[in-house]
Amino acid sequence: MTIEDPLVLLVDDLDNDGLLMRIVFERAGFVQPLRFAPGGEEAIAYLRGDDGVSNYKQLGMPAAVLLDLNMPRVNGFQVLAWIRQQPQLRQLRVYILSASSRVEDIERAYALGADSYFVKPSNLAELTHFAQSLLAWLRLSHFAPVPAGLAGSLPGAGGGAACVGALGEAGAQVSRNVS
């Protein structure tokens, strides 16, 4: 099924990046607000549906996750590995959005199951182009329905109890796309 207004979960520890992405995505025509997790623990809590935090049960299951790699406590590689270990989330699109263009990081992300790897752009024009392209791609993509009752079937993975809000971010230049 296609989704006219796909929900995107942005996972990045930099609040300013999140604010910039929200603005850029709005200018690109993104109607649905981006959901923002300020770290890996918070992203896992959101996707697990943990009580005490904003989560997918309240805000919706994302069609895609934009995932930064370099974060304290639980990094993007750990979040990606956790997502791919959850049978109910295996079809969730996970796009790495990182400042790193290191070959080792790109290879590791794909080995863990990333759908695409993007290097954060260095200017506003490239960032806007990225947001427009991603939005068009998500609107054209066909997504499998998310299973009902997902939260009760996802195991714990160390918990974050921080708030996940509706901010946003995204980034740059496609290094490779495997989806």
User: Which tens digits make up the pLDDT trace of 138-178?
Assistant: 878 766 655 544 544 444 433 332 323 332 233 322 223 32
Q: Is the dihedral of CA 113, 9, 55, 160 positive or negative?
A: positive
**Of 44 and 2, more confident:** 44
1 found inside a domain = no
Q: How many residues does the chain have?
A: 179
What span, in angstroms and rounded, lies between the C-alpha atoms of 55 and 138? 21
pTM of the model as a whole: 0.77
pLDDT of residue 100: 95
* Domain count for the chain: 1
**pLDDT tens per residue across span 46-104:** 999 887 766 777 777 888 999 999 999 999 999 999 999 999 898 899 999 999 999 99
Q: What is the pLDDT of residue 169?
A: 30
Residue 77 resides in a domain: yes
Which domain covers residue 54, as residue numbers? Answer: 8-177
Reported as a single tens digit per residue, the pLDDT across 30-43 is 767 788 899 999 99
Domain presence at residue 167: yes
> What is the CATH classification number for the domain harbouring 31?
3.40.50.2300
Residue 2 belongs to some domain of the structure: no
